[in-house]
Amino acid sequence: MKNTVTTFQQMKEKGEKISMLTAYDYSTARLVDEAGVNSILVGDSLGNVMLGYEDTIAVTVEDMIHHGRAVARGAKNALVVVDMPFLSYQTSVYDAVVNAGRIMKETHCGAVKLEGGAVVCPQIKAIVDASIPVCAHLGLTPQSINAFGGFKVQGKTVEAAQKLIDDAKAVEEAGAFAVVLECVPAKLAKLVSEAVSIPTIGIGAGNGCDGQVLVYADMLAMFSDFCPKFVRKFANVGEIMRQAFADYDAAVKDGSFPAEEHTYKIDDEVIEKLY
Ligand code: KIV
């Protein structure tokens, strides 16, 4: 059954955990969808994972549309959420609605995600008023990495923790249907989850959240540039791929690939008539 923002809300009300994984292409989206994961996030982490950037700052609306529409084609049941990249919504409410609208129209996703709390509530409200569901993102918001001065756990002082709770309430009030909490102490994330009626989706925020999200390339050990503490490697696909590539290289070089069964046939008479 197709997951929607309503499914998210019902799952929170019933106390059922929501699963979300990132994907950036059709084939991975199909696998994630077939596995029964509730939602696929086309995160701007594609800047790191797919494009090899150091951070997400350089990712464009065009990048998100390109990957978002491939994922949407592969997701039958999962709710597809596409990230709004840096400076596609911070600049003005008008830009936010135009870019969210482009992402929705050109990818056929089910929702967009943007980073920030009270400061982006006018944008959230306007996008939601345009009938586009919005997922918010609080805590460590990677688009603000230069302002944070690095990847750091957020909300550790009384002021910062209170601001996180206030921001979560503000994005709910503005109409967000869910909120991602990234790199937040587990006890604080649980408090936030109890303080709002929309689902919280944690990443590095403990199991008191209403759901969890991971970058698929992290949980499969395919991305090795850095690995945050909160990642569990569910399979070492990176090593399986590396070994398979090495086996291919060796088989090509020793002539054992392609073998008979990988080869197309032609009648000998045809060959004999050639000069
Ligand atoms: O871009 C992304 O993948 C994200 C997740 C880390 C939540 O925003």
Is the CB of 46 within 6 Å of ligand 1? Answer: no
Specify the pLDDT at position 224: 87
- Stated length of the chain: 275
Torsion angle in degrees (nearest 10) through CA of 181, 152, 232, 28: 70
Q: CA–CA distance from 56 to each of 60, 71, 86 (Å)?
A: 9, 19, 7
Cis peptide before 258 (omega within 30 of 0): yes
- Only one residue has tokens 């002082």, namely 157
Atom of ligand 1 at shortest distance to CA of 44? Answer: 1
Task: Output the CA 115–ligand 1 centroid distance in Å.
Answer: 10
Q: What positions carry a catalytic annotation?
A: 182
Q: What is the pLDDT of residue 150?
A: 85
**Residue among 44, 48, 88, 138 to mutate when testing ligand 1 (max atoms within 8 A of CB):** 44
- Consecutive 10-residue averages of pLDDT for the chain (275 residues): 96 98 98 98 98 97 98 98 98 98 98 98 98 98 92 95 98 98 98 98 98 98 91 97 98 98 97 93
Helix, strand, or coil here: 135?
strand
The 8-class DSSP code of residue 199 comes to: P
C-alpha span between 200 and 189 (Å, rounded): 8
Spatial contact of 187 and 193, defined as CB atoms under 8 Å apart: no
Q: Atom 8 (ligand 1): residue with closest C-alpha?
A: 43
Which one, of 134, 140, 20, lies nearest residue 83 by Cα?
134
pLDDT of residue 6: 97
Please give the span between the terminal C-alpha atoms of the chain, in angstroms, as a whole number: 61
Shortest-distance Cα residue to atom 4 of ligand 1: 43
Nearest CA to ligand 1 atom 1: 43
Q: Is 5 exposed, middle or buried (0-12, 13-18, 19+ CB in 10 A)?
A: buried
Beta-sheet pairing, 178-182 with 134-139: parallel
Interval between CA 44 and ligand 1 midpoint (Å): 6
Tell me what pLDDT residue 226 has: 84
- What does the pLDDT read at residue 27? 98
Is 247 annotated in a binding site? The answer is no
d(CA 2, CA 79): 7
Check residue 225 and give its pLDDT.
Answer: 87
Q: Which atom of ligand 1 is nearest to the CA of 56?
A: 1
| 62 annotated among ligand-binding-site residues | no
- Name beta bridge partners: 179: 136, 200
DSSP state of 214: E
Burial 17-28 (b: 16+ CB within 10 A, else e): ebbbbbbbbbeb
Residue bearing tokens 């491939």: 70
Q: Is the CB of 215 under 6 A from ligand 1?
A: yes
- Closest C-alpha to 114, from 106, 10, 95: 95
**What is the reported pLDDT for 270?**
97
DSSP annotation string for 63-100: HHHHHHHHHHHH-SSSEEEEEPPTTSSSS-HHHHHHHH
**pTM (two decimals):** 0.97
Answer for the pair 88, 263: CB distance below 8 angstroms, yes or no. Answer: no
Which atom, in ligand 1's list, is nearest to the CA of 113?
8
